[in-house]
Homo-oligomer: A and B are copies of this chain.
Amino acid sequence: MPTPIEFWFDFSSPYAYLASEKIEELAARHGRRVEFKPTLLGVIFRTTGGVPLTELVPPKAAYFAHDFARSARYAGVPFRQPSVFPIPTVNAARAFLWLQDKDGPLAVRFLHAAFRAYFSQDRSLAEPEVLNALATEIGTDPVAMMRGIQEPAIKDRLKALVDESIARGVFGAPTIFVDGEMFWGHDRLPQVERWLAAGPF
């Protein structure tokens, strides 16, 4: 049984959103599963000196804002630049982890619903009412989920994942590991596919 592809993400990364819409189909074409792993770029950036793409110097920020939208059109993925960007994603990440304990496929439904809400419907995942509504939309109890994200075990799990991502050299999202090989960026999906199809290169 081949090992799953690890897909590290932050709900505030537009390129992670684009890749999240492709990675499962790509993995399935090569008989692999995807293991989704949340991390927090805000914490990572404190160790790497990274900054959100839209807080870069003006020419870079302008380019990336344009590139998000164009790359989404290229990929055929609905996209609308969120009016607030970036946002704290700690609660959305915890909700994902809490749902994972309950029901893996449900957590993945939440992941896609949350990414789409933020990046195509301008609904900020930093707002509790948005997380609440998402719980209802995917068919889970919002009260239980909002209570779940306060559980110490869930908080600890996210902290451990963030630490793991830093220890393994993750500095941006999406970061994809295939058989231990690290690929950064949605624009490395063709290289991921080559690796899956034909092995190490």
Residues on B with beta carbons closer than 8 Å to the beta carbon of A49: 57
Which of B73, B171, B190, B201 touches A73 (beta carbons < 8 Å)? Answer: B201
A194 at the interface (CB under 8 A from B): yes
Give 1 or 0 for each of A46-79: 1 = CB within 8 Å of chain B CB: 0111000000110110110011001101100000
Q: Which of A104-112, A126-134, A179-187 faces chain B?
A: A179-187
A191 at the interface (CB under 8 A from B): yes
The answer on a CB contact under 8 Å between B171 and A74 is no
Chain A binding surface SS class: helix
A155 at the interface (CB under 8 A from B): no
Closest to A66 in B: B182
The answer on a CB contact under 8 Å between A59 and B194 is no
The answer on a CB contact under 8 Å between A74 and B194 is yes
Chain A positions within 8 Å of B, measured between CB atoms, are 47-49, 56-57, 59-60, 62-63, 66-67, 70-71, 73-74, 169-171, 182, 184-185, 187-188, 190-191, 194, 201
